[in-house]
Amino acid sequence: MLALRLTRSAHPAVQLRRLLVAAASAGTGFLLLCALGHALGHPDTPAASTLRLAWCAAPLAATVYFAIAVARTDPGTRPRPGLSAVGLGPARLMAVSAATTALSCALGSVLALLVFLHLRGDLTGMPFDGAATDFLAAGRPLPLPAALTLLSLVPLSASAAVAVALRPREPGAGAAPAARSYGRFGAYRRTTVRESFGAYGRFGKQFGAAARVRRPAVAAPVPEGAADDGAESPAGVPPAGASAAPAGLPWGIAVLAAGLAVEAFASRTGAGSSPGDRPAALLGLALASVGLALAGPGLTHLCGRLLQTVRPGALRLLAGRVLMAEASRVGRPLGVVCAVISAAYAMASVQDGRDASSGPLVTLGVLLVAGCTVATLLTAAVEAKQARAGTTAALRRLGAPTATLRRAAALRAGALLALFGPLTLAVAELSAWPLAG
């Protein structure tokens, strides 16, 4: 009931993102039902039906990834001070967010079932003069338990993924507690050094040498979304070197190189055959896509560093440090988008069109995966904007013009496009060349 109330009272932009999740869930559910229909209509070719069902894993993963991004930017389920007093702690808000995601995906699954039944002619007459009945299994009874099982994959997977991504985390949970010792008169101490008689009574002795160092009276507030491993400047912009580089760049490059090598080896051993007859070629393409996605945060951080080289001004310094601070948040979906584009280009270059019946479904799957990844990237950009709202407000209080902030945002977008655009085209060409051989 609480999830329904929060859903109804949300901002129109939040409602639009939830409707997009429902639309993605509807598309994925329809593809799953089409795989079931192909299995019902072609019981003598179970391998082809299994392959169609396996290809639905990509739209399913893209839909779940998009649902996680939408749940992270939902302001209604964000922990705020005072909510724990009324029973809305982090765990409860996480459960509400998972329930809201399940409701959106369930709405899409119901819509997919209605469209599938309508195209089969179960609700009304057969539309489109009975065309495209190859994957609808028209005239055959539809097993309802199997259909409901397939339709439940998207809501269950999305809600479970949201619950795992938004689970409450204790700060410093992995750190081992320091050994506690007792000083004179039962006072807690963090050291076991013995004191001489009367030393505790001397003024300042019980605080140690570090406590006598002069500290500022009030610490500068750290804006939300800033780097945790460095000090903040008064404007909220991380200083040079404050944001640690993501650790996925070497692994991403290694996996990308391994995928291209596997594709090249498959092109030499299976020349003249289609990519579907060469599983090693598809495995290499998948490895290259995964490597490009893993390298996204590291490349974004590298792009921020390159912006600050050779005597940077205030504009390049601001744009570069923001990119470094948001490398993990924005770089990961950006890498996924580049991986999807390169994989789609490589598959389109070797598409021979022999199976014309699956053409609309392939187009729907490609549009669904591409749309979900691009929408996830835009949602991550919205999340990054919300996270640096405190930094932007601090810069404006210090007198930074709005035009300067806009130019910094345009510079960040241009730098990312200049780095990821040629890289995506290069990976796509290198992936398509072995597949076409």
Give 186's DSSP letter. Answer: G
Q: How far is CA 118 from CA 11, 56, 121, 125, in A?
A: 33, 21, 5, 8
Asked if 324 and 287 count as a contact pair (C-beta separation under 8 A), the reply is no
Structure tokens at 387: 């996270």
Q: Exposure string (b/e) for 258-284, b if CB count within 10 Å is 16 or more?
A: ebbebbeebbeebeeeebeebebbbeb
Helices (H), 143-278: 144-151, 153-165, 249-269
CA distance 308 to 47: 54
What phi, psi does 225 have (nearest 5°)?
Answer: 90, 0
What pTM was estimated for this model as a whole? 0.76
What angle do the packed helices 296-307 and 402-436 form, to 10 degrees? 130
Count CB atoms within 10 A of the CB of residue 227.
Answer: 19
Three-state DSSP at 189 gives strand
Number of Cβ within a 10 Å radius of residue 220: 13
Per-residue pLDDT of the chain (437 residues; tens, 9 = 90+): 665 666 666 678 888 899 999 999 999 999 999 999 888 888 888 888 888 888 899 999 999 999 999 998 887 666 666 666 666 677 888 888 899 999 999 999 999 999 988 888 777 665 555 555 667 777 788 888 999 999 999 999 999 999 999 887 765 444 444 444 445 444 444 544 555 545 544 544 444 444 444 444 444 444 443 434 433 443 444 444 445 878 888 999 999 999 888 888 877 765 555 555 567 778 888 899 999 999 999 999 999 999 998 888 889 999 999 999 989 889 999 999 999 999 888 888 766 544 555 678 888 899 999 999 999 999 998 888 888 888 888 888 988 888 889 999 999 999 999 999 999 999 988 888 877 65
